Each structure stands twice: as structure tokens, then as C-alpha cells.
A and B are shown apart, each in its own frame.
Chain A
Amino acid sequence: MKMLEVKNLCISFGGLHAVDRFDLSIDKGQLYGLIGPNGAGKTTVFNLLTGVYKPDEGIVKLEGKDITGLKTTEINKAGVARTFQNIRLFKEMTVLDNVKAALHRSYRYQTLTGILRLPAYYKQEKAMDEKALELLEVFDLAGESEVLAGNMPYGKQRKLEIVRALATNPKLLLLDEPAAGMNPQETGELMETIRFVRDNFEVTILLIEHDMKLVSGICEELTVLNFGEELTHGKTTEVLNNPEVIKAYLGE
């Protein structure tokens, strides 16, 4: 069964067909790339997949289960997590709490338990701390667990967003330009980490990126969007050598 199956997805804003008859199909465990020129509708696809926008038409299936039109919260519960192109951290919270907030559904206790500080509170909080630190460790952020998220440099904020998404224990992880604002060296490290995550967290990854080094370095397959429509899809090397893609997107 496919991890993600999207059929005939459409949305328009006013007269603009931001995403038009879009199909996508991703296998379990894949590292899949979504690329395309600026304004092609990539972020909009993410917004449709995560319920931020409701599609005008089309079906989204996650492991065969129809999740079209569900609320963002429910889609996350179904197993989709994401990061944002313009970073959306909980800025006034610590790095650790950002991650713990995302562990919300995995480690439960009643509100009253929390207020009364019953033993379950301490047990679950401790477990959460451990889990969160473990995740932060992967991205080399454990040392900053007590820093306010908003006070961190840009690159680290991007990484923290990935950790936070990962903490909801998703089946499918959507990354929107994870390397934006990073220098080549940091991007290189990030590539390693993304691969590591895919391998060790049993998660399928769909990412948007303009950094071709990253895309060609880690994506197995690509779909190219142009003016809301699919231009082509296929193996990364094939797609990147497709003359149409070069003309519309890569240049040179």
C-alpha cells in the first residue's frame, strides 16, 4: 500500500489555480522531493495535505485511509507532520517545551493529575523529558534545551521545527525548504540528518527544497510542479536532466 496517494487535487484563490489536478504517490519509507519554480504551488500542496486549506476537489489518502478535508489536528493524528517555510516555532517557550508540546498525544495524563501533581504526572513528565532530549540529541540541539526557541539562530530554529514535527511520531513528514537560510556546510549536515531520520524513525519524507545539492543528494524521486500543475515526476536524476525541468526551473 502507498504511504501517500493524492489524486486530482485542486484549489484556486480567486481566479488563480494555485494547484490544479495534482497527483502524487509515495511509497512507504521513501525520501521524496517536490520541486518547482517560485509560486508553483508547492507550499499550497503541503497546506492541502495538512488541512490548512480545504481542497476544491481531489482525494488525499494516507496508507489507504481517506484524510481529505479533515482538520489539521486530525490529519496530524492520522500521522502527518510538517515544518513551515516561514518558521513557526513556539517562540516564548523553551526548546525542550517545544518538543514536549509535540509529545502531547503520546504521553498522556489528565489535566487534574497535572494540577494535583499525582505520581502519574511525574512519571509521564520524566518520560517526556527523556524522549524530547533523545530527539534533540539527533539534531545536536540537546545542549540548548533550555533556550527560548525564538532566541536561537535561524538555522537551529529550522532544525528544531523538524524535531518538533518528528515528536508527533508521524508516518509522513513534510519538510518545507528545510535548508533555507543555511550555509552550504550546514546544509551538508542537514542532509545527513534527514537521511538518518528516515532510516531510524521509520518515517516517509516529502520535502520541498530549492537547494539542488540537497535535492539531488538525498531525494530518491521527484515531482516537479509548475503553475500548479505537474510538469513531470520520476527518479531524481532523470527528472533533473529533463530538458523541460531545466528550462522551467533549473536554468543553465
Chain B
Amino acid sequence: MKKKIFKNNMITYALIIAFYIVMQVMITTGSISSLLQGLLVPLCMYAIAAVSLNLVVGFSGELSLGHAGFMCIGAYASAIFSRVTEDSLPDLPRFLIAILIGALVAGVFGFLIGIPVLRLRGDYLAIVTLAFGEIIKNLFNVLSLGKDNEGLHVSFNDAAVMELGEGGEKIVDGALGITGTPRDSSFTIGIILLLLTVFIVVNLVNSRTGRAITAIRDNRIAAESIGLNVTKYKLMAFTISTTLAGVAGVLYAHNLSSLTVKLFNYNTSILILVFVVLGGIGNVRGSIIAAIVLTALPELLRGMANYRMLIYALLLIVMMLFNWAPAAIHFRERIKSKFSKKQEVV
């Protein structure tokens, strides 16, 4: 079993690295389409988001519908930092610090919110996380932040009220969000962050802590009876997950020159959940593959014009049925066993 897990993880790393190498070769030889090239960073970001959510949904067994809220926090925190220090720090160190800040702030929020919220179960937890994501969205939506010679100014009302003095510049402008964030995200950094995320999640899961987390998921009362601290480990999983969600947010914020809260609504939280479930709950590699497939799919369907999202929806349903319906699973197993039997004969 151990060996199998190890092998499995190595395959995941190898696939990511192979993907990276293939893409890099295509980029250097110029044989990559603009679309694909533009998709590379978002793919990494969604994969990170999915893997991190899998820690909560798959391994900790809690349904969170507010993952996008934490990405939002990471994105805003890091983007504000980058905008403020744009002129005073060199690019790379600034971005590295931005990643840390995004992760940290999202993690701190995850921790604070997790304390009360993780007492709830199942669908109640889901709705509270969803609510939390919506609150974040609403608050950032009306947040204005500017800097002038006197320092930073914050307002949750109208930017009109915020009178900026000499050398004033708006950094966050309500619904318009943050524009002109330095575009520091790159495919290479994205891949490194994805590898790091996978590394953290799979190593965590296959450790003492991870065992405690999964045990609590499987049977909370039994877990308590063998002395596991339920709150501590749930909170730990949640906090690590939100921290990594923050990292995904940082990648997003530094990939486009427009950052608004619109992306970070419950639809995105749900979309990430779709990646996790479609890829197989608790299956890290599946999460990544599902994130890639479902992010790329609407782009590949562009040729279908008006029917694009319709077909996307249909494909999603069909994939779900194929992956999850017991009847489909039996069917697949039968085919598989027939196939392997034939091989034996040969």
C-alpha cells in the first residue's frame, strides 16, 4: 500500500513536470497557440485551487462552498501589496513576498473563520462557507483604498468620499477592483507552486496528521475515543487549504491587469468543487486533471458558438454519470476484467 501510494505520487509529479516540459518546448519552438499559452497560468491556478479544496472536501470530509472567498482574500492582499510596493521593490522578490502575503492572509482568515464554523456539519457548513464567500465578495466590492503622501486611506463607502491628497492614487476602487497589478505570474512559477501544493497535500495526507484528519472524517466519535483532537485537525486541514487557496488567488491577481471580486463568487467555489468531485474525491491527480479538462473544455468548444455552454453542461453531466454512477462503474469494471482476462490468455 505504501509503495503504491509512493508510486502514485511520483506519477503525479512526473505528469506535472512532463506537462511543463512539453509546454516549454512548444513555447520555445513557437508552436503553441496563443490561447493555450494564455491558459497556462489559469490552469495552474485552478489546479492549485482544486487540490487545496480536495484537502477539505476529500480528506477532511467537509463540504466547503466558500473556497473562492479565500482565493479572493489572497488575490486582494497580494495585489494591494504589489501595487503599493511596485516602485520600491524589484520584481521577483516582490512577487515572492506577495505570494507569502496572499497565502498568509488567506490562511489567517481561514483559521479565524474555521474556529466557529467547523463546529457545523455537512450542508450547514456548506451554507456558512458559501455565506462567508459572499460576505467577502460584498465587502471587497465596496472597498476603496488609496495612497497619497500621507499614507493609506481606506473607505467602505464611496471612493468619492475618500479625498486623496497630493500624489494620491487609488489602489482599490470599489467594484472596479484593482487595475494595473504588475503581471508577475508566469507558467514556471505557476508550475512550481502547483508542485509545492501537491507536495504539501499528499505528504500531509500520508502522515500522522493526515491519518488523524481522515480518521475524523470517517468516524468522528471513534476518532475522539482514540484521543484525536477533532477541532485541532479539522482546523488544521481547513487552514492549510485556505492558505493554498490564497496562493491560487495570488497567481490570478498577478496574471491579469484587472482584478475584481466578480470571479470570486459562489459559482467559482462550486466550479472548484466540480473539479474535486469529477476528479474523484480524495484523488489529487484527478483534481488536477479535472481542473485542466474543465478549464480547457469551454475554450475548445468555442467553435460551437451559441451552443458552447450548452454542450459544456451536457458533457459535465455525462462525465459525472460516467465517473460516478454505480451502473457505469460496474460496466467499466466488467470491461476491465474482461480485458485483463484476455491478456492473461495471451
Contact = CB atoms under 8 A, between A and B. Distances in A.
A223 interface: no
Interface string A61-88: 0000000000111001100011010001
B113 interface: no
Contacts of A111: 204, 207-209, 236
Contacts of B223: 90, 101
B224 interface: yes
B177 interface: no
Contact of B1 (A77, A84, A96): A96
Interface stretch (B84-92, B227-235, B334-342): B227-235
A227 interface: no
Interface in A123-172: 124-125, 128, 146, 164-165, 167-168
A2 B207 CA distance: 38
Interface stretch (A29-37, A102-110, A211-219): A102-110
Given A91-B218, A97-B211, A114-B209, A167 B226 contact: yes
Nearest to B199: A115
Nearest to A92: B218
Contacts of B227: 73, 76-77, 102, 104-105, 168
B103 to A, nearest CB: 14
B203 interface: yes
A89 interface: yes
Main secondary structure of the interface of B (DSSP, over half): helix
Contacts, number: 105
A42 interface: no
Contacts of A121: 207
Contact of A114 (B207, B217, B219): B207
B120 interface: no
A168 B226 contact: yes
B224 A90 contact: no
A25 interface: no
Nearest to B202: A115
A117 interface: yes
A102 B212 CA distance: 9
A72 B228 CA distance: 9
Contacts of A81: 225-226
A128 B206 CA distance: 13
B210 interface: yes
Interface in B250-284: none
B325 to A, nearest CB: 20
B243 interface: no
Nearest to A147: B1
27 contacts: A72-B225, A73-B228, A76-B226, A81-B226, A82-B225, A84-B222, A88-B222, A90-B215, A90-B219, A90-B223, A92-B217, A93-B218, A97-B215, A98-B215, A104-B226, A111-B236, A114-B203, A114-B208, A114-B209, A115-B200, A117-B203, A121-B207, A128-B208, A164-B222, A164-B226, A165-B225, A165-B226
